[in-house]
A and B are shown apart, each in its own frame.
Chain A
């Protein structure tokens, strides 16, 4: 059985500690480049099938530039993947076009099962899997958490999460496309040997001469409203405009302040000396 896992490399913005509104307060250190966690869950299920079913191979398919190659290779190690394929596309397509590119690649490689994350942490479209199934004209189940392939490799039993805590069990013939949600089991931990093998795995690059046409057009981004980590009361000596500005600037406002700790006596003394220092007390 050949499983293709579609993996997206994402740039996860985990904080907004910058000062520049033009970059939406995202400083360079606020990003980590990694593999979409839902895709990691897909890799985990693929590895599970590989462990249970003899003669299973896993191919890892990624679309777009290598922004997180180290993490991608860690994913290879984690799943014990046999091949790593990068698809290069010139345009920045919409989910429809993306799924078309992926479908072409899948058809070319040939697969019994395609797994992908249920959505990407950065764009959150959650469409590619379903579109892909349509292009390939195979069944699709979304948000699966567990996967079992029958010994003859003809059907798959999947468990998907419906609403809170409710699981649904479905059976589907293969070939099929499943999108994967993060499950209960901890991700596999790659051994040193697996990591080494993954690092040595050659990267196969594929591109297509004719780019698919997107159905929709991406116009722009609405910046997030800055959410400060902690809003200290704005400095009251400043004019209102600047105070509001400070609040909007959000993440980091350096404001002089003193937090007293220690025994009550020492705190009282702290307050008194503060008042004295600011000539509020004679």
Chain B
């Protein structure tokens, strides 16, 4: 079948592919250095089962069948060039598999083409790139089947060996010339596909695989540190991003799963993580052009709630969020352009060490007359150190939650203590707003104060404190060079409560009637993968039943308070907490349980704004447990 020209053609196509790929890779490889270990096992598991991709509903399934539907025939056809002699039995079986694989791939390609067409009618924001790869794949498959059909007309074979091919044989001519033509078309289209690979979204095949190979291992909630000595401070342009961040832009397929789950996008802000990756991709070739404030507007930069929905939903393990944070860092550290609304809070953090500007002297006011032991250098080691956080210490409603936690711990007979005035803001609000130097300052102070005290385990009330203390402080402590206390175990209050409930240290006696929904805090759920305790506790409360919201667990919807959102104004679109409140109101529950002071405030505000006839209560899981305590 081969002509003498064919090897030349193949070589040309491959050459174009290699040269094009090398050119593209030279862009992202110019990124700043970053240490990322690779993971073969993770990658092969990812490709084999495509669990992450399958989460995307029909699109995921279509990808799966297309992937295998292309890979299997490709392998078989390459092997077939080595002229195996096969007995008719296995040969027939192989033909059957190829036929099925081709049909699957065809279905997958058709799905993508139709979806793409439907989307371009619906939204204006789809990628401007033409779907060449899908069109070419379609051509390859079609010509392949026509060739198969024509061949079956010429050399009949048992129907079952190629049922789809047989269908095509009904409409295919039966001439050797047509067969030759179809095969040539098939062949050229395949070559075209290879040659086009680096120039179309097909580049996600190598780049995406590589990105998965280098994907993050630990919890999602850890931000990349800033090097104040070497810089750059944040990202002004793509030149300030690391190679991994640029590789992500190269790998993005613009599928839009991030955007479909992004609270900022869904509430009508300009920010779309998909567009963001697209903008970075466009600047890969011109790393000097300005990203922050120009290609990516300030509105986009400041409307992110750092909820990590984009990170959690990206099938290619791309993390759009960290680019937003890097641009924020540039705005604040590089330009001193902190958002006006957040400045008083940042200033309070600088002067008083808490977001409310009340000062350490007032930090234990919530515990007045409760007999809460305050840890001192001489006191005995308590079982747990209760980390109250700024909200527990100062927020009127969350103070009640802190008191309830004390009540529960006392009832459970757990020896505990607080740090009192020695506790400062963990630094999360500053860090997510990009004020890294303030964060480091706060974190270092806390870490140094920890060294004066004797404790092994921290129970944090707020998921933001929890995430920061657990995941980010060890990184800071390591850099400090002091003998940082890495042996400290940090757990969230909900985990701890579940533990003492399961250990029968407390009894839940008084029933709470009705149905409760759970609003998963981003920094507990998506950042740290803790979903079960809230559900188990709600189920353990007598009388209370659990009703899952439509968006819950990994898909949970942000309350709008994270990433400094608590202090920023939402001027465009609708309020994020309003969206969530409407969803909760629609579910018909009478109670929402959460485990985060921000969620509590935001949801309460959102629900109040709805002015429902039967108001829905929002309570921290601690309050619910304390109310039912026997």
Co-complex (A, B): yes
Collect the chain B residues with CB atoms within 8 Å of residue A230's CB: 365, 368
Does A19 count as interface, using CB distance less than 8 angstroms?
A: no
A-B contact pairs, 18 of them (CB 8 A): A14-B352, A14-B359, A17-B362, A29-B361, A32-B351, A32-B352, A74-B350, A186-B343, A187-B343, A188-B336, A189-B336, A191-B334, A194-B336, A252-B368, A256-B369, A259-B403, A261-B407, A263-B628
Contact A266 B369 (CB under 8 A): no
Contact A262 B628 (CB under 8 A): yes
* Residues of chain A at the chain B interface (Cβ within 8 Å): 14-15, 17, 27, 29-30, 32, 34, 74, 186-195, 229-230, 232, 252-257, 259, 261-263, 265-266
Contact A15 B335 (CB under 8 A): no
Give the distance in Å from the alpha carbon of A94 to the alpha carbon of B392 in the complex: 44
Give the distance in Å from the alpha carbon of A253 to the alpha carbon of B334 in the complex: 47
Collect the chain A residues with CB atoms within 8 Å of residue B338's CB: 189
Collect the chain A residues with CB atoms within 8 Å of residue B421's CB: 29
A27 nearest in chain B by CB position: B361
Contact A232 B629 (CB under 8 A): no
Choice from A188, A192, A255 contacting B233 with Cβ under 8 Å: A192
Choice from A14, A27, A74, A192 contacting B333 with Cβ under 8 Å: A192
Total residues of chain B contacting the partner, CB 8 A:
42
Give the distance in Å from the alpha carbon of A102 to the alpha carbon of B359 in the complex: 33
B421 nearest in chain A by CB position: A29
Contact A265 B510 (CB under 8 A): yes
Collect the chain B residues with CB atoms within 8 Å of residue A30's CB: 359, 361
* Residues of chain B at the chain A interface (Cβ within 8 Å): 228, 233, 332-338, 340, 343-344, 346-347, 350-352, 358-362, 365, 368-369, 371, 400, 403-404, 407, 421, 437, 509-512, 623, 626-630
Shortest beta-carbon distance, B591 to chain A, in Å?
13
Give the distance in Å from the alpha carbon of A186 to the alpha carbon of B340 in the complex: 6
Contact B228 A262 (CB under 8 A): no
Find the residue from B360, B368, B626 having the highest chain A CB count within 10 A: B368
Give the distance in Å from the alpha carbon of A188 to the alpha carbon of B346 in the complex: 12
Shortest beta-carbon distance, A53 to chain B, in Å?
20
The majority secondary structure among interface residues of chain A is loop
Choice from B335, B336, B404 contacting A261 with Cβ under 8 Å: B404
Contact A263 B351 (CB under 8 A): no
Give the distance in Å from the alpha carbon of A187 to the alpha carbon of B404 in the complex: 39
Given contacts A189-B343, A232-B368, 10 further A-B contacts (CB under 8 A): A15-B359, A29-B361, A32-B359, A186-B340, A187-B347, A229-B368, A255-B369, A262-B510, A265-B510, A266-B509
Known contacts: A189-B332, A256-B371, A266-B630. The answer to whether A15 contacts B361 by CB under 8 A is: yes
Give the distance in Å from the alpha carbon of A265 to the alpha carbon of B627 in the complex: 10
B336 nearest in chain A by CB position: A191
Listed from nearest, the 10 A-B pairs whose CB atoms lie closest are: A191-B336, A15-B361, A262-B627, A17-B361, A189-B338, A192-B333, A186-B340, A263-B510, A189-B336, A266-B510
Give the distance in Å from the alpha carbon of A265 to the alpha carbon of B358 in the complex: 36
Give the distance in Å from the alpha carbon of A229 to the alpha carbon of B463 in the complex: 29
Find the residue from B233, B343, B510, B626 having the highest chain A CB count within 10 A: B510
